[in-house]
Amino acid sequence: MSPSLLAIGLGNPGAKYEDTRHNVGHQVIDALSGRLDISLQHESDALVGWGRHADQKIGLAVPLTYMNRSGDAVAGLHDYYDLPLDRLLVIVDDLHLPVGTIRLRPAGSSGGHNGLAHVAQRLGTTEFSRLRIGIGDDFPDGRQSDYVLSPFTEEQHPAARSAREDAEDAVLTMARDDIDAAMNRFN
């Protein structure tokens, strides 16, 4: 049976980045792996695991590359598993969305996100699904890098947690049904 979905959460590898805004993609995959009892194993440039949800085969992955080189891992997984692009979902942080918000799209531009831009470059297309998780943009001019590489504030934690939980549910809805059903429910 071919997989209904391979969800790939972008972020940076290493403990020092674990709880940062830039790693919400990793955080969603970590939570889903626990929720679905899927163990992630090292494969090339990523941690990957496969399991089942609602009679569907679902894959979870986190690249072991840094965010700006995420396309190497995503393209490698896409090629290795010979997946159609409509069965690939990339999960990322988004400065343009308020904390607590998610947006699911079947395709589109990088929106200035370097990780998404590298994925599009390596796949040779922007025609892949993406789930953006809002991290807000409350930072002084020139401090974007510091902001995305810092944790959510205490005030942001409840909204950030809610967005991650919605993102988990959106991934499962997409695996069980399709992207349209997930967009209708979560956008």
Residue range 14-55, pLDDT digits in tens: 999 999 999 999 999 999 999 999 999 998 899 999 999 988
- CB count in 10 Å sphere of residue 187: 11
> According to the model, what pLDDT value does residue 108 have?
93
Question: Of residues 22, 53, 113, 118, which has the active-site annotation?
Answer: 22
Residue-range definition of the domain harbouring residue 161? 5-186
Work out how many domains the chain is built from and give that number. Answer: 1
Q: List, for the chain, all residue ranges whose pLDDT scores fall below the cut of 50.
A: none
> According to the model, what pLDDT value does residue 142 have?
82
> According to the model, what pLDDT value does residue 160 have?
96
Tokens in use for 128? 């892949």
- The CATH number assigned to the domain holding 24 equals 3.40.50.1470
User: Is position 53 annotated as part of the catalytic site?
Assistant: no
